[in-house]
Structures are given as structure tokens and as C-alpha cells.
Amino acid sequence: MSAVSEETETTRVDAKTNRIAAAFSACKAQGRAALIPFVTGGYPTLAKTEELLPALVEGGADLIEIGIPFSDPLADGATVQHTSQVALEQGTTLTDCLALVRRVRAAGLTVPILFMGYSNPFYQYGLQRLARDAAEAGVDGFIVPDLPIEESDEFLEPFRAEGLDLIFMLAPTSTESRIEAAAQRASGFIYCVSLVGVTGAREALSDELPAYLARVRSHTDVPLVVGFGISRPDHVRTTAAIADGVVVASALINHMDLLPPEEQVAGATAFVRGLAAATGKDGQQVAVAAGSKG
């Protein structure tokens, strides 16, 4: 590799890595946690997903997680499973989701974007090709729930070469050795599942969440993000006090599903804005300026 190509590669990798890091750094400077809403690519339609992404940013999203439709989403509850099924029935593919990101980047969307998906479609696409195409499209990282930490090297190598973060997931039942393994490999952030079970809105958060996060924090300085079961502003407020980021998935989807199609995009913006206002570390409301992060 020539000196020029080495410099180009380094610049590209640094830019990719820094987009997620910059988002968490900005949130920390503002005294709040990052808000990370989740949508499924192709739900309710691919065109509507494309409208939703900037609408989420207008509402205050700091990063966005896009679910890649899959027929056997083991970590997902009924709500996200349904969205995946609908998207698949409409023919949405991983290639479609990459093209979607490419379009919204071209339109000016700058917040970090993560793909959340299962290993089978990624293997079928080809990991080297996936890393290259994802980086070119503007994806910043991947969350792969069914990828064991100990077997992640074949993902890590091509992803890191393209500046993509591979986000590892931990649960309240994770052992100290498993937490340490995640900490040793982590970049971007660590996804701390708030409960034992699948995704889905819940009425209350676990009382064990502070102790669980403290256990993970003792192993790493990488940002800690909490997801699964977070559905209301009070959940966000409680989690923001002890975590660096908060993922909201099923509650957002459920809210949109209650609205007529023509109101879903505006409704998503309003819903996310209410959550974003609760991300303050000191429990104070956060002012969210419309479109301030787009």
C-alpha cells in the first residue's frame, strides 16, 4: 500500500470512528445522555423509513439504530418481530437498507447510524463486502445480538479496517469474564441490555440496573448504553442518570402504529422530542431545538 493510500485509509477510518465518539462527547459536554431511537428498515414501508430518519433527528435523536429485517430475530419481542415480518413481506433487503443510508447521507443526515441485525444475512452478504459497502454508504457501526463475543474476530477484522464499530451486548446475567471480554474488544459503546428477555416496552425498569452498570463500568471507560424495556420519559430520566445513552425501540414503534399513516412522521418527531427532553444527567429537562442536529 502506498503512503497516499495509507493516509487515505487512516483518514477514512478516523472519520468513521469519530462520528460515534463525537456524538457521545457532545452529549457529555451538555450534561446529558445520548438518545438512540430504533426503527426497522422497511417498516412500515421503505419510503416511510426514509422520511422517519431525519424526523427522528429533528426530535432530538443523537444516534439512530436501524433494524435489518430477518426471519428469526431471537432477541426481539413481538413488536419488533412484527416490523421485521412486514418489511420482509414487502421485500426489504440488506442491500435496500444500505441504499437507504446512502440516500439520507446524501441528503445531509450527519448523526451516527448503526445497523442492528443478525449474523446470517451478514454472512450471506459477505463480511468483507459488507464492511466496505457499509462504510461507503455511511453506516458507523453494527450490533449483532446473536454473535458471541468469543467468535467475533471474523467480524472485527474487516469492520475495524473500514472504521466500523462492532457493538457488543451484555446482560444482567453476564459474568465478570464475559464483561471483561466485551471491554477488551469494545469500541463505540457497549450495549447493556436492561433485563433478561427480549425487546419490548415495559412498565418499570429493574432495581438492579445501577449495580449492573457499575459492574460493567468497573471494566471499561467506553460509553455504556442501556436498551430493552425503555418506553417513557421517566424511564429515560432514570437511565440517563447512570448511563451514557438510552435506546428506545418498541415504545416508538407502538406509538407510530396508533397513528394514521399521514401523521406517523410528525408523531415520531413529537414522541422522540419528549424522550430527548428527559436525557439530562441531573434530572432537569433538556431543551431540544427542532432540527438542531440534522
Active site residues: 65, 76
Under 8 Å CB-to-CB from 69, ≥6 apart: which residues?
A: 40, 41, 42, 43, 83, 84, 85, 87, 88, 92, 93
Say whether 119 sits in a helix, a strand or coil. Answer: helix
The alpha helices in the chain, defined as continuous H runs, are: 3-29, 46-59, 78-89, 94-106, 119-125, 127-137, 153-161, 176-185, 209-217, 233-240, 250-257, 264-276
**Which run of H or of E encompasses 116?**
strand 113-116
**What is the Cα–Cα distance from 234 to 277, expressed in whole angstroms?**
10
**What is the Cα–Cα distance from 201 to 206, expressed in whole angstroms?**
13
Q: Are 148 and 168 in contact (CB under 8 A)?
A: no
Radius of gyration of the CA atoms of the chain, in A:
18
Residue 163 burial (C-beta neighbours within 10 Å; 0-12, 13-18, 19+): buried
Residue with cell 445501577: 210
**What is the Cα–Cα distance from 15 to 19, expressed in whole angstroms?**
6
The DSSP result for 242-257, as a single string, is T-SEEEE-HHHHHHHH
3-class SS letters over 12-32: HHHHHHHHHHHHHHHHHHCCE
